[in-house]
A and B are shown apart, each in its own frame.
Chain A
Amino acid sequence: MEAIAFYTFAILTTVMFLITVLTNHALYALSALAAGMIFISAFFFLLGADFLGAIQIIVYTGAVMALYAFGMMFFDTTRDVVEKRNSPQLVFGLSGLAALTVVAIFTAPIVSGNITALYPVIDGVGNSQQVGMVLFTKYLIPFEVAAVMLLVAMIAGIVLAGKKMDHSLTLMKEEEIERQTNEKAQV
């Protein structure tokens, strides 16, 4: 049963991400990426990481994809995306090499076989409860730093893409900024 679920979702995720990478239509890429994100959460549920699966659906398909959808309203998405490919052989060779490196990175610690669990899973306690216990004791400071980072990102997003951009320095042409600084210098 687990094998059927694994192979089904593996094939679905791979196909969705291949569509995302290879299509020339931005809207198809967005939809395929959102579908792939949801299929990935299935792996987290299969692996017993229930909380991570829920977070995957909420954050990725809920927040990130909605943000991309809003961002795409600013761009011309109906036009086909033209990609310039200089040498496909080089690209595929490099990606194959990088994939081999990743395999080596992941299999090296397994071959050594002396891994011990730092924060072992406790029997009879739900996954969300365990995550809470570890996150709010051992990883409290990274958690708070991540919270501050999200706040910084939110303010940066508001400042960069805000409505009052026509009065902001970041949108003006270089000549306008120069003229304004000159005026200020004269005063």
Chain B
Amino acid sequence: MEITLQHYLILSTILFAIGLIGVMRRKNLLLLFFATEILLNAVNIAFAAISSYYGDLTGQMFAFFIIAIAASEVAVGLGLLVLWYKRTGKIDLDAMTSMRG
């Protein structure tokens, strides 16, 4: 059985949906970060698959930049999270109401 581009795109969509379920379900900020990592990885699979099936390297380049962005996002996000936890002792989204939003 031949594995086509559609197989990879459907897998990527399934993983993206799992990540979206996580983003909507989580109230804990650390686990919300995990869900965003799943989203980024799902898109990376789609980029690599399209790159491979069209014989084009642009998709892989975008995947590299997405990985770089994910790494810096984690560094800054975790720094902010640690700071917030030191100040308030909570990392729940519902507790972040100091801006009265």
Given the contacts A49-B60, A135-B61, A36 and B21 also touching, CB distance less than 8 Å? no
Contact A72 B30 (CB under 8 A): yes
Residues of B within 8 A of A63 (CB): 71
Rounded to whole Å, the gap between the CB of A105 and the closest CB of chain B is 9
**Which of B52, B63, B79 has the largest number of chain A CB atoms within 10 A?**
B79
* Cβ-based interface call for A95 (8 A): yes
A: contact size bracket: 35 or more
* Cβ-based interface call for A121 (8 A): yes
Given the contacts A13-B15, A84-B27, A134 and B57 also touching, CB distance less than 8 Å? yes
Contact A159 B28 (CB under 8 A): no
Contact A98 B20 (CB under 8 A): yes
- From DSSP, what is the main secondary structure of chain A's interface residues? helix
Complex formed: what's the CA distance from A152 to B13 in Å?
32
Can you name the residue of chain B whose Cβ is closest to the Cβ of A72?
B30
Q: Which residues B49-101 have CB closer than 8 A to chain A?
A: 49, 51-52, 54-58, 60-61, 63-65, 67-76, 78-83, 85-87, 91, 94
* Cβ-based interface call for A35 (8 A): no
Total interface residues on B, CB under 8 Å, equals 71
Given the contacts A17-B38, A160-B80, A171 and B58 also touching, CB distance less than 8 Å? no
Given the contacts A49-B52, A55-B67, A135-B61, A153 and B76 also touching, CB distance less than 8 Å? yes
Given the contacts A6-B7, A40-B44, A99-B20, A71 and B82 also touching, CB distance less than 8 Å? yes
Complex formed: what's the CA distance from A10 to B45 in Å?
11
Interface, chain A (partner B; CB < 8 A): 2-3, 6, 10, 13-14, 17-18, 20-22, 26, 29-30, 33, 36-37, 40, 43-44, 47-49, 51-52, 55-56, 59-60, 63-64, 67-68, 71-72, 74-75, 81-85, 91-92, 94-96, 98-99, 102-103, 106-107, 110, 115, 117-121, 130-131, 134-135, 138-139, 142, 146, 149-150, 152-154, 156-161, 165, 170-171
Residues of B within 8 A of A17 (CB): 15, 18-19, 38
